[in-house]
């Protein structure tokens, strides 16, 4: 089941969050009006994990550059795609 999770490390501990591609589309839809990609990513994480989750607390303690790298890796390769009518 760990194949369905994205892993990152903080202070020597492994944290797992759902792979971005497995996030329900309704959660991603709620982030569409975010001011920027960082806000959107954190909104998706908060809605998915809960604001008080250990995973979010670990991300909060990391330097912003590290969090940016984690978010890039988490969302890497996921596109919204096009409908067949496009």
Q: What is the dihedral of CA 5, 27, 29, 57, to 10 degrees?
A: -80
Residues 5-32, mean pLDDT to the nearest whole number: 95
H-assigned helices in the chain: 25-30, 37-49, 54-61, 64-75
CA distance 20 to 50: 15
Q: Using one digit for the tens of pLDDT, what is the confidence trace for 32-81?
A: 989 988 899 999 999 999 999 999 999 999 999 999 999 999 999 776 54
Considering only residues 86 and 76, tell me which one the structure prediction assigns the higher pLDDT: 76
Q: What is the dihedral of CA 82, 84, 85, 86, to 10 degrees?
A: 30
Say how many C-beta atoms besides its own lie within 10 A of residue 23's C-beta: 19
Domain ranges of the chain: 2-75
């Amino acid at each position: 089941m760990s194949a369905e999770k994205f892993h990152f490390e903080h202070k020597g501990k492994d944290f797992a969050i759902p792979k971005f591609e497995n996030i329900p589309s309704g959660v991603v839809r709620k982030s569409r009006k975010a001011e920027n990609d960082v806000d959107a990513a954190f909104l998706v994480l908060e809605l998915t994990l809960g604001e008080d989750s250990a995973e979010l607390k670990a991300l909060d303690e990391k330097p912003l550059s590290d969090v940016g790298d984690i978010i890039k890796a988490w969302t890497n390769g996921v596109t919204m795609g096009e409908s067949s009518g496009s």
